[in-house]
Amino acid sequence: MEEFDLVIVGTGSAMNIVEPLIGANPSIRIAVVEKDEPGGICLTRGCIPSKIMVYPAELLRLLYNAREIGLEVTSGGVNYEHVMMRMRELIDRDINAIRQGLRSSRNISFYEGTAKFIAPYTLSVGEKTIKGRKIVLATGSRPLIPPIKGLREAGYHTSDSVIRMALTKRPESLVIIGGGYIAAEFGHFFSATGTKVVIVGRNKRFLPEEEPEVSHVVTNEMSKHLQIVTGCEVTAVDTTAGGRRKVTGFTKEGKELEFEAQEVLVASGRAPENDVLDAAKGGIELTDKGWIATNEFLETSQPNVWALGDANGKFLFKHKANYESYVVYYNAFQNQRIAADYHAVPHAVFTHPEVASVGIGEEQAVRENGRERVLIGFQRFEDTAKGEAMGVHGYFAKVIVRAQDYRILGAHIVGPHASILIQELVTLMYTQENSVLPVTYGMHIHPALSEVVERACSNLMDVEEYHHVLSHHYGIKTGAD
């Protein structure tokens, strides 16, 4: 059995702490264990490869209204095979570089296999046994596969399998089971390549985690290129005599719906990977849903063992995992007691149109603060000079603030570059005042899309007025309609 100063399970964001540890202690001994390709989920089968895939789709969609702004262009579509090969070349290059770095480091012993606890602080990896004085668990997650009758027998794909090139040829048609961000992004991509796509979600709204008016805009725009079915629970998947997949579901009212396609993609969310850990043997408690239980300092139930990233089930985003890696570094190795702060975890959905959000939504803001203590700022893209120049329609920014002190509670943007535009508000939410006022005081370049955020922050109104403006002036559905 080999003993180490630190054992890390997983090669994603937990690797952020390795370089500073080696810099501070050149003789430190670290064991790194990985059962999949090194680099973590984001690199190997998540956000990075999927964004390489959807970028060509975004460019194609930008040409959809090209004639409106004076462009005479003809697009031959998105070459699926070329995009996928490019994605794999870029990802494999980075994976191989990380693997080489892990194998060549004098301070790191790289174990390629599945880590399982056999006792506290002691794990087996294949036939080898390792022990760590401190352990960081960054085990990631895997696609959630719902218990649908006949699904396994009929065969299906996930975001993981698509990125791993299980579909070498573009499918002629595709049913996507799920109505969240994975379904949205992969539906966007496949429809741009020419695949006939149907998205079937169980919730009454597409992208149910977003604000209702954001969901409304995205549904309308994406429905120009694919079919979106909501409020339908998929109950069975069968194989037809011709080798196609038949997907059967029922609406809340009991109406039976059937969809037939060449392939099925399951996009029902993510599930924990911690069952392979034998966590109980390591004294590690799991939540009822199988995530590693941690306190505010990211400590597990076993002293000197921390968990970060998808492993703890809190906000399954790479940027959140990166943030947590620094919390673990300071708590585990700098003798600090920093509590993880999740009040402003941003996220984006890279569809067309793009979506970005941070903080809480209007419903929660009203519930926690009272209707009279909430103000909402709103600005349409097309009512700014840059938005008008771009010829965009129906997109907007929504900012939710607390009336008494202008504290930002949340922000929601749908439209071009939403993931970039929202960062101004995310950064302010990490200041002591957390106030929207610096946006209104600060000078913004004209004409630039940043004026969408500036004007939303300068155009605050009460909740009733906001819903009146959206419904009666712009015809946008909201949660109050």
Name the pLDDT band for 399 (thresholds 50, 70, 90).
very high
Catalytic positions are 446
Answer for the pair 396, 381: CB distance below 8 angstroms, yes or no: yes
Residue 475: the pLDDT is: 81
Residue 65: the pLDDT is: 79
% residues pLDDT > 90 (the chain): 94
Q: Are strands 196-200 and 227-229 parallel, antiparallel or unpaired?
A: parallel
Name the pLDDT band for 479 (thresholds 50, 70, 90).
low
pLDDT, average across residues 8-12: 98
The Cα 95–Cα 89 span in angstroms is 10
Residue 76: the pLDDT is: 72
pTM for this one? Answer: 0.95
Q: Which amino acid is at 48?
A: I
**How many other CB atoms are found less than 10 A from the CB of residue 316?**
19
The SS3 of residue 89 is: helix
Q: Among 46, 281, 265, which residue's Cα sits nearest to residue 140?
A: 46
pLDDT, average across residues 300-318: 98
pLDDT tens-digit readout, 424-474: 999 999 999 999 999 999 999 999 999 999 999 999 999 999 999 998 878
pLDDT exceeds 70 at position 481: no
Q: Which amino acid is at 232?
A: C
pLDDT tens-digit readout, 310-320: 999 999 999 99
Q: Among 97, 328, 359, 339, which residue's Cα sits nearest to residue 209?
A: 359
Helix axes 47-62, 80-104, angle to 10 degrees: 150
Distance set, CA 288 to CA 267, 283, 315, 397 (Å): 22, 16, 17, 37
Answer for the pair 131, 2: CB distance below 8 angstroms, yes or no: yes
Q: Are strands 245-251 and 256-261 parallel, antiparallel or unpaired?
A: antiparallel
DSSP class per residue in 395-422:
-EEEEEEETTTTEEEEEEEESTTHHHHT
Distance set, CA 46 to CA 85, 264, 288, 316, 347 (Å): 16, 19, 25, 11, 14
pLDDT, average across residues 237-255: 96
pLDDT tens-digit readout, 113-158: 999 999 999 999 999 999 999 999 999 999 999 999 999 999 999 9
Distance of CA 269 to the CA centre of its chain: 10
Cβ contacts of 341 within 8 Å, gap of 6 or more: none
pLDDT, average across residues 160-173: 96
The Cα 231–Cα 252 span in angstroms is 6
% residues pLDDT > 70 (the chain): 99
Residue 327 DSSP one-character state? H
The Cα 109–Cα 1 span in angstroms is 13
Name the pLDDT band for 480 (thresholds 50, 70, 90).
very low
Positive/negative CA dihedral, 240, 242, 244, 250 = negative
pLDDT tens-digit readout, 234-244: 999 999 999 99
Answer for the pair 7, 136: CB distance below 8 angstroms, yes or no: yes
Q: What share of the chain is helix, strand, coil (3-state, %, to 5)?
A: 35, 25, 35
Helices (H), 262-342: 318-333
Q: How many Cα atoms sit within 13 Å of 301 on the Cβ side?
A: 13
Distance of CA 328 to the CA centre of its chain: 22
pLDDT, average across residues 62-78: 82
Residue 278: the pLDDT is: 96
The Cα 218–Cα 212 span in angstroms is 10
pLDDT exceeds 80 at position 299: yes
pLDDT tens-digit readout, 264-281: 999 999 999 999 999 999
Distance of CA 376 to the CA centre of its chain: 25
Name the pLDDT band for 109 (thresholds 50, 70, 90).
very high
Angle at 208 between CA 419 and CA 345, to 5 degrees: 40
Q: Among 204, 234, 225, 226, which residue's Cα sits nearest to residue 216?
A: 204
pLDDT, average across residues 247-263: 97
Joined together, the tokens standing for residue 16 give 């952020």
Q: Among 49, 16, 46, 52, which residue's Cα sits nearest to residue 141?
A: 46
Residue 74: the pLDDT is: 77
Positive/negative CA dihedral, 217, 222, 206, 389 = negative
Mean pLDDT of the chain: 96
